[in-house]
Homo-oligomer: A and B are copies of this chain.
Amino acid sequence: MQYPSQVTIIEVGPRDGLQNEAQFVPTHSKLAFIQKLWEAGFTEMEITSFVSPKWVPQMLDAKDVMEKTKDRKGAIVLAPNKKGIDAALSAGAKAVAVFIGVSETFNKKNINKTTEDAMSELIPVIDDLKSRGIYVRACISTAFHCPYEGKISPTAALALCHQFAEAGVDELSVADTIGKATPKESFALFSLLKKQLPAILVTAHFHDTRKMALANIYAAMLAGVDRFDSSAGGLGGCPFAPGASGNVATEDVIYMLHEMGIHTGIDLHLLVEAIEAVKPYVSREITSGYYTSKAGF
Interface residues of A (CB under 8 A from B): 1, 145, 147, 178-180, 182-184, 187, 208-215, 217-219, 222, 238-245, 249, 252, 255-256, 259-261, 285-290, 292-293, 295-297
Q: Is the CB of B178 within 8 A of A240?
A: no
Q: How distant is the Cα of A242 from the Cα of B290 in the complex, in angstroms?
A: 13
A252-B210, A285-B243, A297-B178 known; A260-B183 Cβ under 8 A: yes
Chain B residues near A210 (CB-CB < 8 A): 252, 255-256, 289-290, 293
Q: How distant is the Cα of A148 from the Cα of B14 in the complex, in angstroms?
A: 37
A212-B256, A245-B289, A285-B243 known; A218-B183 Cβ under 8 A: yes
Q: CB-nearest residue of chain B relative to A290?
A: B210
Q: CB-nearest residue of chain B relative to A258?
A: B182
Minimum CB–CB distance from A40 to chain B (whole Å) comes to: 19
Q: CB-nearest residue of chain B relative to A248?
A: B211
Minimum CB–CB distance from A268 to chain B (whole Å) comes to: 12
A209-B293, A243-B243 known; A256-B215 Cβ under 8 A: yes
Q: How distant is the Cα of A226 from the Cα of B143 in the complex, in angstroms?
A: 29
A-B contact pairs, 23 of them (CB 8 A): A145-B297, A179-B289, A180-B259, A184-B259, A184-B261, A208-B211, A208-B289, A209-B293, A210-B290, A210-B293, A211-B213, A211-B214, A211-B289, A212-B214, A212-B252, A212-B256, A212-B289, A214-B214, A239-B292, A240-B295, A241-B292, A241-B295, A243-B286
Q: Is the CB of A241 within 8 A of B293?
A: yes
A182-B260, A217-B215, A255-B210 known; A292-B240 Cβ under 8 A: yes
Which of A1, A217, A218, A249 counts the most chain B CB atoms within 10 A? A218
Q: How distant is the Cα of A47 from the Cα of B289 in the complex, in angstroms?
A: 28
Q: CB-nearest residue of chain B relative to A253?
A: B211
Q: How distant is the Cα of A293 from the Cα of B242 in the complex, in angstroms?
A: 10
Which of A187, A219, A286 counts the most chain B CB atoms within 10 A? A219
Q: Is the CB of A211 within 8 A of B243?
A: no
Chain B residues near A242 (CB-CB < 8 A): 292
Q: How distant is the Cα of A183 from the Cα of B222 in the complex, in angstroms?
A: 11
Which of A182, A209, A213, A242 counts the most chain B CB atoms within 10 A? A182
